[in-house]
Amino acid sequence: ILNKPPGLAVHGGSGVPYGLIELARASWAHLPGLELAHRLDRDTSGCLVLAKNREALLGVQRQLVAGTARKAYLALLQGDAFKSQSKNAPRGGGRNVVLRVDARLLRSELQGGERMVKVDSQGKDAVSLFSLIELYGSFASLARVEIETGRTHQIRVHAQHLGHPLAGDEKYGNEGFNRQMKTLGLKRVFLHAEQLDMMHPVSDVTLRVQAPLPDELASVLDTLQRGVPTQGRGER
């Protein structure tokens, strides 16, 4: 299990000569069966599972399909994503509110091969659970996101569907908000695979793996703690 850095694709293709799996195979040539057990977007950091052989690969993938392996992410969303859901909560209870997004996702490609995903009733089942960690006025919300499915761009598109896209997301996000986030030091989409809970596919030992928030994202949160931009939610 690796702590994937941002900016590195998990595999080569689409103009990318090589990715993490190619580098891993070159570094661990004694493991000819090394495979990605799942994927992370290029600019997403955090927990990533590699399988040493086919037995391990199938064991991990069975857990992911069945939902017994749990993945949790940290994400920074535009605006107060929890306002309408928490306004009637008991005093201090807003942080206990969980937003469940159950919206099917359909994958398509634009000209040039760019991959896009949208909410569509003809798509595949996709469920994401957003829980509030920290609120930065009405400017941004830090959330923990658990996914019950693992669709391409799932968290990013579900956040957009909520009307509160991820900070730094150039594909599904808000241009004005992203410009403001750049002034705070954000250089990529704010999405980090923080935790993975699963059974070891061979030994059946329960595993919990955590990847600390990268320094560059922690620095953005520190800046937000000192005060948010005055232009609110960064509308276009």
220 occurs within a structural domain: yes
Confidence of residue 195 (pLDDT cuts 50, 70, 90): very high
24 occurs within a structural domain: yes
Q: How far apart are CA 190 and CA 138, in angstroms?
A: 17
Q: How far apart are CA 6 and CA 115, in angstroms?
A: 19
Residue 222 confidence (pLDDT) above 50? yes
CATH of the domain at 84: 3.30.2350.10
Please name the amino acid found at residue 207: L
231 occurs within a structural domain: no
| CB contact set of 96 (below 8 Å; sequence gap of 6+) | 89
Pair 147, 141: CB distance under 8 Å = no
The residue range of the domain holding 173 is 2-225
Q: How many domains does the chain divide into?
A: 1
Pair 223, 167: CB distance under 8 Å = no
* pTM attached to this predicted model: 0.88
Q: Which residues are catalytic?
A: 41
217 occurs within a structural domain: yes
Q: What is the mean pLDDT of the chain?
A: 89
Of residues 212 and 64, more confidently modeled: 212
230 occurs within a structural domain: no
Averaged over 50-55, what is the pLDDT?
Answer: 94
Q: How far apart are CA 34 and CA 21, in angstroms?
A: 8
